[in-house]
A and B are shown apart, each in its own frame.
Chain A
Amino acid sequence: QQQVKQSPQSLIVQKGGISIINCAYENTAFDYFPWYQQFPGKGPALLIAIRPDVSEKKEGRFTISFNKSAKQFSLHIMDSQPGDSATYFCAARKLNFGNEKLTFGTGTRLTIIP
């Protein structure tokens, strides 16, 4: 029940295209859903996050779509650029002040080709 399923495992998108990564969860106690971007040799960096009472959140070229009834959420990267090539992790968190745990998806390796 703690699992977060992420797909696809790898994704190749042409420059300027839309990259879409999907995640699904089971535990309805999750109440915060961040996305992290990780470059080789670096730690995960927060990209964008959403609460389940919001259906969509947009920050620049990055958009999270959230479907609470389906327990699914997705990351859309518009106008994908070579600099977006990285591994992306979705995550889900159950709020428990000071004892919070992030449950990560398995990751998507995104490659943007010219």
Chain B
Amino acid sequence: DTEVTQTPKHLVMGMTNKKSLKCEQHMGHRAMYWYKQKAKKPPELMFVYSYEKLSINESVPSRFSPECPNSSLLNLHLHALQPEDSALYLCASSLVDRGNQPQHFGDGTRLSIL
């Protein structure tokens, strides 16, 4: 079991739906990340939050909207997604202010857009 918990594990939604992905960690990490991973590809960074503030947005379409309500929670709000957005969405977290601290990943949400 990972220390980064993601819910739901699977999500099927239509292109007009609104849904949210949730990520939670209780390791005291103050940096949290969203990645998108397509089959047989490496994770691609989408967003980075540091101390609950958005610090990196990798030019992600506005149909993806991140939110960090507190230091333990990270959400990804989804609206009007396209079929090509079907992928595994991974959340990760890491310590800040200490060098050489790895990112810890959750097991992801498998998203399918109909």
Which residues of A does B touch, CB under 8 Å?
31-32, 34, 36, 41-46, 49, 51, 87, 89, 95, 97-102, 104-107, 109
Residue of A nearest to B4 (CB): A43
B76: shortest Cβ distance to chain A, in Å? Answer: 15
B: interface residue count bin: 20 to 34
- Is the beta-carbon distance between B42 and A107 smaller than 8 angstroms? yes
Which residues of B does A touch, CB under 8 Å?
2, 4, 6, 30-31, 40-43, 45, 48, 50-51, 55-56, 90, 92, 94, 96-97, 99-100, 102-108, 110
- Beyond A49-B102, A98-B31, A109-B40: 16 further Cβ-contacts under 8 Å? A31-B99, A43-B4, A43-B107, A46-B102, A46-B103, A89-B42, A89-B43, A95-B99, A97-B50, A97-B96, A98-B55, A99-B55, A102-B103, A104-B42, A104-B43, A107-B40
- Is the beta-carbon distance between B56 and A99 smaller than 8 angstroms? yes
Number of A-B contacts (CB under 8 A): 68
- Is the beta-carbon distance between B2 and A102 smaller than 8 angstroms? no
Provide a sorted-by-A list of 18 A–B residue pairs whose CB atoms are within 8 angstroms: A34-B102, A36-B105, A41-B110, A42-B108, A43-B4, A43-B108, A44-B43, A44-B105, A46-B102, A51-B100, A97-B50, A97-B96, A98-B51, A98-B97, A99-B56, A104-B42, A105-B42, A107-B41
